[in-house]
């Protein structure tokens, strides 16, 4: 891990300009894909191993995106999205 400060990156009431999880996951997957494309012509074992790892990571990120879409669909059934400054649909602050 790095020594970077714990700065929120996801959109929330406290970080209204943050990333939506599904958009961040997509962006990371795209960037890993771009990096992976640069490895396609490198036949060294380490490049092949990194490419396989990247492909697995991209698959896991895609699974995470699907889970996030499922959560979003379920929350949409509860109430419309009011955005980061609105009232939460579930959890703390959503009652009453």
Domain ranges of the chain: 25-74
Mutual orientation of helices 21-37 and 45-78 as an angle, nearest 10°? 160
CA separation (Å) from 4 to 7, 35, 59?
A: 8, 23, 27
Residues 6+ apart with CB under 8 A from 52: none
pLDDT digits (tens, 9 = 90+) for 11-26: 999 999 999 999 999 9
pLDDT digits (tens, 9 = 90+) for 43-89: 999 999 999 999 999 999 999 999 999 999 999 999 999 999 999 99
Report pLDDT for 96: 57
Residue 1 has pLDDT above 70, yes or no: no
Global model pTM greater than 0.85 = no
- Cα 63 to chain centroid distance, Å, stands at 10
Q: How far apart are CA 31 and CA 77, in angstroms?
A: 32
């Amino acid at each position: 891990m790095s020594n970077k400060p714990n700065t929120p990156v996801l959109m929330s009431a406290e970080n209204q300009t943050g990333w939506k999880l599904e958009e961040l996951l997509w962006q990371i997957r795209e960037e890993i894909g771009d990096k992976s494309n640069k490895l396609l012509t490198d036949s060294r074992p380490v490049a092949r191993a990194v490419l396989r790892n990247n492909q697995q990571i991209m698959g896991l990120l895609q699974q995470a995106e699907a889970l996030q879409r499922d959560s979003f669909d379920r929350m949409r059934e509860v109430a419309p999205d009011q955005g980061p400054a609105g009232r939460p649909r579930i959890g703390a602050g959503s009652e009453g």
